[in-house]
Structure 1
Amino acid sequence: MVTFFPMPYPDETLYSMIARYHIWSGNLNSKATLRDLFNTTSVTAGRELPANINLLINNLPDKCTLTVDKIIKNHTLYKYYTAFLTSERANYIYDLMAEGKGSLIFTGLGMCNNNMKIDSSLKYCKVCVDSERDNFGEAFWHVEHQVPGVLMCQKHLSELCICTKSIEMKNRQEYLNLELSISNKDTIVAHLNTKIIEYQKKFCKNVNNIINGGFGFKKMNFFREHYLKELIDKGMAESRMKIYQQDLLRDFKSYFGDDYLELLGCNFDIDNKFNWVTTITRKHRKSFHPIQHLLMIEYLNIDINELFNANYIEVKKGKTYFNKTDEEKAIYRQKWLELRKKHPNNSKSFIIDLDIATYTWLNRHDKNWIKENSPIKKTYGYSKKIDWEKRDEEILQEIKRVVEAMYNSKEKPERITVGAVGRKIGKVYLLRKYLDKMPKTKEYLQEKAESVKEFQNRRIKWVKENVTTNGENEWIVRREAGVK
């Protein structure tokens, strides 16, 4: 039994507490610290979901007020990782952490098949470090800063830094003290702009509610049913059996953007029918990463406190009708009219692409009004007067100029797809609807369109040429390029 142990600072991780003990104890190596605290040297320094917590508690001074429950729930990422699990699975993870079965924890979460990358690097906020040195005399690792998906410090709206030593270290039994680990080599998690900060404010607020809340665990399909209810209300579904997946996927991507989804490791291919956005709206046969749930909650504008305090519901299989209030209709009508006012000379399809969700809602629940208040459809689509051979040549030349400009741009690369090119020339609908009538254009686009892998390689090349200058390690280049 040890004679002392650091009491935790607000939001401090258990890993950080042990790292501080290691320095205060004067131990010369990590094995000595492990023997002090766990009576064994076979313990791994778990950063997110550590194990062997019972052993630790049994070795703390009698007057220490820490308990297994306090440590697991307040000083690890247990609440974050188990928030969307059933009580049976969450209790199983709790028991694994309390006992010495750390190797089974991430498998026990049931997320092995969701293709999410595990980032075990340690992160910190420079502003927090300065503040803690003034207030406590030392800085420490925060729980919230280690949460996957968190790109900034919620308190200061500042960029988080990645501790380079936490990535490079080989010893899995060593506890890094933040004060001794800050380096000039440390890089930021992500460059923040106004858009990312706004997304992160909502994301971090929801994370904070989960970590500091006392929510109960839910049944397997609890969240899926609530997502379905909101999708129906949003006009993206009619019932549990009828979800307008293509509308949903396009609108979801339009809402967050590829760059932000890439940063969170949650981007997806619309053409892949097994993408995570589609599968999370179907019957849950596996667990989904908390980031994926949080993105869906934000997209559907769900209040997370109301969600976790709600009762279980089950959406009917048959077609579901909701009587929409005049107030709801007025809100969506106003959105549509504002778009028309901003783009008076553009087609209906152009305006739809700007806000798919608004059009979909009105088309489902206010069909006559949307027909009367949309741009008059031009009839050139099937007109025999259209010289498709001539149009093919004209569009081809436009597209060649755009594609060449996208390849040669010094700005951050944008993936070359039919949709991206169509948006740049203002002819998304034409390319989607009549591409088969323009064989030269179609052939050129098929040749130039990038796969996800090709685009990632081009982004890496761009980072090497335009961002990094000192021959940085491959992992730094890949992170700057947003490639997992």
Structure 2
Amino acid sequence: MLSYFPDPYENELLYSTIARYHYYSGNLSNAHTLKDLFNISTVKPSIFIPIGIKTLADKIRNKKYTVDYLLQNHTIYPLFSPFLNQKTRNHIINGVDSGKGRLNSLRIMRNYDNLKYCPLCAKEDYNKHTEAYFRREHQIPNLNICCHHNCKLKTYPISRLNVSPDSFIRFNYSLVEKEINDNRAYTDPINEKLDKVLVNSAYHLLTSNFQNAENSLRQRYLYFLRSKNYMFSRNKINELKLMTDFKNFYTEESLSYWNLNFDEKHKYNWIRRFLQRPDGSQDPIKNILLIYFLCGDLYYFFSININDELNFPFGEGPWPCLNPIAEHYGQNVITNFELVKNRSIMGYFKCSCGFTYKINIFDKSRFTNLTGSNIVEFGYEWEEKLKGLILKGYGITRLAMEMKCSDKTILRCSEKIGLRDRINSDKKYSHYIFNKNINQDQKMVNYKKRILNYIEKYPQATRSQIRRNLHSTISWLRLNDPNWLEDHLPSNKSPNFTYNNEQYWHEKDDKLYSKVLETYNLIKNQPMRLTKGRIFSKSGIKVNNFIKLPKTKAIFDSIVETIPQFVTRLVDFQCRKCFEEYGEINITKVRAGCNYYMRTNLQKLINERMDYNIRILVRSTNSG
């Protein structure tokens, strides 16, 4: 139990508190302080999350300072924890508890050796506590603006690179007192929006205990991506549209300033890798930018229960019927709905009058502002009234007023019920059945008819040509009736020659043999291992099966090297090169040339081969 340990100030970095303890305890050696606090004297103190916090918490008399309290209030762990998967989170907790863990799991925390401070915060702290300290919100990697005063952070003059690894750097106010007056506000009109988002959001993460237990980070991102229409069907992301909008939202200049710009065409840019595996991305800055872009609010992003939103997106029923000509219009008479997940997630509501409409779960305002695209089917009651009004001789304008829809909707529906010829109108409209949920059997008939008509019109068309011109039709029939499709498509056309032709394989074998032999002669005297992959790369050929290529297989078997064979040739090469340049075999230079393999179990082989080359050289010198 420690007889004394200073109380950490508000948002003080735990490393700073330990440094103050070292100063006030009077310990002359850093190892003594480490032994006092962590029962170990051979550990490098970490700025971000000191290892062995549990041991420290057990030794402090004030039981308020538990492991969880110190982690949440005096380290920057809360900034990272919402974006870590459970395995990494447990690894860190176990590490700080046992004192034997490694914090290299957080790649962004590595090699961080400079402490930062805000001049105005330091002055306020000194006036209030008669000493300054390092605040944790100022140590966030890549952020250099104070979230309290909007001034640029300064680097403390003493770096960890200039002191011993086990040293503690205490904030000495006298060292920076001259720079305290330089407190100009940070202004950058180009990056102001992005700076404000990052700094304020990072501080909000630090001071709020966000938990991500209910849903994984990936589930949350997919939910909000779908809400912004960045999803195709089957959970595929429209990456190009997302990246374009993301750049327009933050501007390329701001992203370049933070080293976060990217090329949309590059296959492995950071945003593509991020979307593929968000649970594995530990950089809070990238997470903050994407969350703010998709959601605009960190608290809402982490507090929303995705399962409830997906299972009960429209709250508890009943829900209103929106049939404009029904007596029960606007009344809550619909007791259930069907949830359909495709490119977007839609709720289908069907009333007893037959009127059916759909609402996107991310656009619930449509309950009071229904548009034509939301109507799936008007229903029998609506159609019966339309039929009666048409038979009474109503004109199209009056029909549209009575039925509370557009002229074109009247024309389409009148065609559906077979009364189009009773309406005198030359207006153009699209000829399709209003109910888009067409019967599957009818869809099957239509698609088969489309295939047969195309084959009748183009009798010489091949399977590939039909597939290119009727891609969606072919794909749908392949899933729903593959046997019919196979029976009615043209048969596969055979190529002009057969791959079983002996003459063809004999010529190909000779050609490949010549290329491999030519490549071998070019690289056999170079210090590189002869492998199939290297020969393929250098010669520009690729062979997966050597069954019908006996000569090519034979030359590959004779020239491809095992690792010991290559090491033997490499030692010979280095010895020969050393003798040509210096007139002698320098063992140090030969070993340097074989450095990679000196660290393996081939070291004995290398030494024996060097001795062999030296004996050969001595023998040739004596005989000469």
Calculate the TM-score normalised by the size of structure 2.
0.46
User: 2-side partners of 1:263 and 1:25: how far apart?
Assistant: 44
Which amino acid in structure 1 is aligned with residue 170 of structure 2? N
User: Residue 49 of structure 1 corresponds to which residue in structure 2?
Assistant: 49
Which amino acid in structure 2 is aligned with residue 99 of structure 1? S
User: Residue 201 of structure 1 corresponds to which residue in structure 2?
Assistant: 196
Aligned with 2:344 (options 300, 320, 332): 320
Which amino acid in structure 2 is aligned with residue 177 of structure 1? R
Deviation at 1:118, TM superposition (A): 5.4
User: Residue 269 of structure 1 corresponds to which residue in structure 2?
Assistant: 263
User: 1-side partners of 2:199 and 2:243: how far apart?
Assistant: 24
Q: Check 1:154–1:170 CA distance in 2 against 1; reply closer, same or farther (3 A cut).
A: same
Secondary structure class of the residue paired with 1:293: helix
Conserved 8 A contact 2:295-2:301: no
User: Residue 206 of structure 2 corresponds to which residue in structure 1?
Assistant: 211
User: 2-side partners of 1:25 and 1:73: how far apart?
Assistant: 26
User: Residue 224 of structure 2 corresponds to which residue in structure 1?
Assistant: 230
User: 1-side partners of 2:219 and 2:57: how far apart?
Assistant: 40
Q: Check 1:177–1:262 CA distance in 2 against 1; reply closer, same or farther (3 A cut).
A: farther
User: 1-side partners of 2:33 and 2:174: how far apart?
Assistant: 18
User: Residue 20 of structure 1 corresponds to which residue in structure 2?
Assistant: 20
User: 2-side partners of 1:45 and 1:169: how far apart?
Assistant: 15
- What are the within-5 Å matches in structure 2 for residues 284-363 of structure 1? 284=278, 286-313=280-307, 318-320=342-344, 323=360, 324=363, 325=365
User: 1-side partners of 2:208 and 2:269: how far apart?
Assistant: 30
Q: Check 1:229–1:63 CA distance in 2 against 1; reply closer, same or farther (3 A cut).
A: closer
User: Residue 161 of structure 2 corresponds to which residue in structure 1?
Assistant: 168
Which range moved further: 12-21 or 226-235?
226-235
Which amino acid in structure 2 is aligned with residue 257 of structure 1? T
Which amino acid in structure 2 is aligned with residue 158 of structure 1? C
Which amino acid in structure 1 is aligned with residue 32 of structure 2? A
User: 1-side partners of 2:259 and 2:113: how far apart?
Assistant: 14
Which amino acid in structure 2 is aligned with residue 202 of structure 1? V
User: 1-side partners of 2:143 and 2:155: how far apart?
Assistant: 12
Q: Check 1:286–1:39 CA distance in 2 against 1; reply closer, same or farther (3 A cut).
A: closer
Secondary structure class of the residue paired with 2:271: helix
Conserved 8 A contact 1:165-1:181: no
Deviation at 1:319, TM superposition (A): 1.9
Query: Unpaired runs of 5+ in structure 1?
Result: 330-484
Per-residue deviation, residues 252-271 of structure 1 (Å, max 9, x unmatched)? 22322344334444332322
Structure with greater contact order relative to length (CA < 8 Å, sep ≥ 6)? 1
Deviation at 1:14, TM superposition (A): 0.6
Conserved 8 A contact 1:228-1:240: no
- What are the within-5 Å matches in structure 2 for residues 68-107 of structure 1? 68-102=67-101, 104-107=102-105
Provide the identity percentage. Answer: 30
- What are the within-5 Å matches in structure 2 for residues 108-119 of structure 1? 109=106, 119=112
Deviation at 1:53, TM superposition (A): 1.2
Give the number of the structure whose alpha-carbon radius of gyration is greater. Answer: 2
Secondary structure class of the residue paired with 1:266: coil
Per-residue deviation, residues 426-462 of structure 1 (Å, max 9, x unmatched)? xxxxxxxxxxxxxxxxxxxxxxxxxxxxxxxxxxxxx
Q: Check 1:136–1:239 CA distance in 2 against 1; reply closer, same or farther (3 A cut).
A: farther
Aligned with 1:248 (options 223, 235, 242): 242
Which range moved further: 63-72 or 16-25?
63-72
Which amino acid in structure 1 is aligned with residue 18 of structure 2? I
User: 2-side partners of 1:71 and 1:121: how far apart?
Assistant: 22
Deviation at 1:96, TM superposition (A): 0.7
- RMSD, aligned α-carbons: 3.4
Aligned with 1:154 (options 142, 147, 154): 147
Deviation at 1:16, TM superposition (A): 0.6
Secondary structure class of the residue paired with 1:105: coil
Conserved 8 A contact 2:43-2:166: yes
User: Residue 58 of structure 1 corresponds to which residue in structure 2?
Assistant: 58
- What are the within-5 Å matches in structure 2 for residues 184-199 of structure 1? 192-199=187-194
User: 2-side partners of 1:161 and 1:240: how far apart?
Assistant: 49
Per-residue deviation, residues 51-73 of structure 1 (Å, max 9, x unmatched)? 1112223333x346422221122
Deviation at 1:76, TM superposition (A): 0.8
Deviation at 1:28, TM superposition (A): 2.7
Calculate the TM-score normalised by the size of structure 1.
0.58
Which amino acid in structure 1 is aligned with residue 145 of structure 2? M
How many residues get paired? 320
Secondary structure class of the residue paired with 1:237: coil
Per-residue deviation, residues 6-65 of structure 1 (Å, max 9, x unmatched)? 1011000110101111221223332232233223311211111211112223333x3464
Deviation at 1:149, TM superposition (A): 4.1
